[in-house]
Amino acid sequence: MVDPSLQALSRLTAVELRDALASGDLSAREATTHFLSAIESRNKQLGAFVTVTAEQALRDAAAADRRHAIVVREGRRDELPLLHGMPTAFKDLTDVAGVPTTHGSAALEHKPAPEDGALAATLKGQGVISLGKTQVPEFGLTAYSENRIAPPSRNPHSLGRSSGGSSGGTAAAVAAGLVPFAPGTDGGGSIRIPSGACGLVGLKPGRGVVPSGASAGDTAKLVVAGPLARTAADAALLMDALVPRDEAPDGGYLANVGRAPEPLRIGVSLDSPWAGAYPFGIEQEAMDALTLGTKLLGNAGHSVAEAEIRYDNRYPEAFTAAWTAGVGSARIAPQREALLTPLTRTFRRRAQQRSAFKVNEALGFLRQFEHDTIAQYAEWDVILMPTLAQTPRPIGWFTGGGHSGEPWPSEWAGDADEDYKRQCEYAPWSSMVNVCGLPAISVPVHATAAGLPMGIQLIGRMGSELLLLQLAAALEAR
């Protein structure tokens, strides 16, 4: 039997926890109670969760235990869902039935969602138990998770620093052991940025690989769903639940994640499509992570060499137009506009002033950018760079706000353009991967002298999600 004590359960990987639940060594109620206790103990410090749905989670756990008892008694254990009884959480951009979806905005009315969104429905169908909703930036727009409705999401490795965004609360929850793993969504780096900041494996699948990850208002087809986890195997397990079985690799992701890939040609590039608009520096800690990652990959038998990638300097304007189009059309009552953060308000106004022709022109450019960039990447099996150009940033650093951890006061004002510039300098290698529709993974490989995690990003060819997970597993082993 598995020891259900807090310390013992916290040491289990998601795969080990899944096995204990499936075997009956651990009940769903014991697992759920443990993680709810962890949330109760640490969330006030971290700000990872906006809403905790403890009563519903315990009801769902009891139902899972009843189902387990029935299938075992009747000899139908193979009918248990893949993630039977596994606690997780959904970021507060994802609808979960009966729970408000705030979208991180004080400008919206926070009514309970009438039904599960596609992502929550898919994972609940695979047996997960939702413990609540995690902190996000307003409408998921930024690389940090600070808004006007709740305290900011903090980095478990250093509470004065941000956990990133937009899946920032999710990353903080997973890194702190408040949930074993969790899904995030990524439209411009929103899985990889917080994974890099919090020392997690964060996989952004390629476009269309996870059907439940698509966003209805995403005309540029940037947004996908994927796993945030502490190990490559845990991420692979969640991918097995997210990807339809007939579209997954033979045997699934988890069964194959430990296999070493054949020697690859890996191109290292520090080029960024943001460099022309926002020339950025790369901190030594980011270069240290890249150097170590390069060495480890070379030691594993891969050929690693410099790759020079040229990006069209019209990219920043086109991406920004596509990225902010949705917030321009969001249904917000006029009297509540003032409750938007300065960045959201500024980009909403600009989006509303932008003509449909300009938006379509931007979308057309991005499709050409996708074609041209993939053609350059094709010389290599994988493209490698740091996940982030800087160490995790202090709370309030992007906005010029305070560090108190309290919700922003209504009179708070910040410089939206400086905020956006800082984000682009912090994460200059993220959004172009979404535009190209390619898979990419952030893998932790280094810790600074202050104990802050630093990761590398690997960008693969279309359909290479398993390969990226295998590379992450190999880096973990080394």
pLDDT tens per residue across span 131-157? 999 999 999 999 999 999 999 999 999
Q: How far, in Å, CA of 167 to CA of 139, rounded?
A: 11
Catalytically annotated residues: 91, 166, 190
Q: What is the residue-averaged pLDDT of the chain? A: 95
Percent of the chain having pLDDT more than 90? 92
pLDDT at 6: 54
b/e map 380-392, b = 16+ CB within 10 Å: bbbbbbbbbbbbb
Could you tell me where the DSSP H helices lie in 267-415? 284-299, 315-329, 342-353, 356-377
pLDDT at 419: 97
Q: How far, in Å, CA of 275 to CA of 117, rounded?
A: 37
pLDDT at 403: 43
pLDDT at 305: 98
pLDDT at 5: 61
3-state secondary structure of 273: coil
Q: How far, in Å, CA of 272 to CA of 206, rounded?
A: 20
Domain residue extents for the chain: 132-477
| CA-based torsion, 118, 122, 125, 128: positive or negative | negative
Confidence bin at 77 (pLDDT 50/70/90): confident
One CATH from 3.40.50.720, 3.40.50.300, 3.90.1300.10, 3.10.400.10 for 132-477:
3.90.1300.10
Confidence bin at 99 (pLDDT 50/70/90): very high
pLDDT at 91: 98
CA dist list (Å): 265 to 11, 271, 294, 318, 380: 36, 18, 12, 31, 5
Q: Write out pLDDT tens, residues 190-200.
A: 999 999 999 99
DSSP 90-117: EETTS-BBTBB--TT-TTS--PBBSS--
Q: Which helix (H) or strand (E) holds 75?
A: none
Tell me phi and psi for residue 468, to 5 degrees.
Answer: -65, -40
Among 74-88, 105-119, 270-284, 392-406, which is the least confidently predicted range?
392-406
pLDDT at 142: 98
Residue linked to tokens 């920032």: 168
pLDDT at 10: 82
Percent of the chain having pLDDT more than 70? 96
Largest pairwise CA distance in the chain = 65
Q: Write out pLDDT tens, residues 300-318.
A: 999 999 999 999 999 999 9
User: And the tokens for 194?
Assistant: 């917080």
Confidence bin at 404 (pLDDT 50/70/90): very low
pLDDT at 405: 42
Confidence bin at 401 (pLDDT 50/70/90): low
| Length of the chain, in residues | 478
pLDDT at 2: 67
Q: How far, in Å, CA of 216 to CA of 159, rounded?
A: 35
Confidence bin at 407 (pLDDT 50/70/90): very low
Provide Rg for the chain, Cα atoms.
21
pLDDT at 410: 41
| CA-based torsion, 46, 215, 278, 421: positive or negative | negative
Cα within 13 Å of Cα(346), Cβ side? 13
pTM for this model (two decimals): 0.96
Q: Write out pLDDT tens, residues 242-269.
A: 999 999 999 999 999 999 999 999 999 9
> Cβ of 78: how many Cβ atoms within 10 Å?
6
Identify whether the C-beta of residue 85 lies closer than 8 Å to the C-beta of residue 28. Answer: yes
pLDDT at 213: 87
Residue 204 has pLDDT above 50, yes or no: yes
Residue among 140, 91, 197 nearest 426 (CA): 197
Q: How far, in Å, CA of 326 to CA of 403, rounded?
A: 30
Q: Residue 18: CB partners within 8 Å, gap ≥ 6?
A: 82, 83, 84, 86, 237
Read off the pLDDT of each residue in 223-234 and give the average, rounded to a whole number.
98
User: And the tokens for 357?
Assistant: 């022709």
Residue 39 has pLDDT above 60, yes or no: yes
pLDDT at 7: 66
Q: Residue 381: CB partners within 8 Å, gap ≥ 6?
A: 264, 265, 266, 460, 461, 467
Confidence bin at 422 (pLDDT 50/70/90): very high
pLDDT at 412: 42
3-state secondary structure of 226: strand
Tell me phi and psi for residue 259, to 5 degrees.
Answer: -75, 135
pLDDT at 411: 42
Identify whether the C-beta of residue 92 lies closer than 8 Å to the C-beta of residue 103. Answer: yes
Q: Write out pLDDT tens, residues 335-365.
A: 999 999 999 999 999 999 999 999 999 999 9
Q: How far, in Å, CA of 3 to CA of 381, rounded?
A: 44
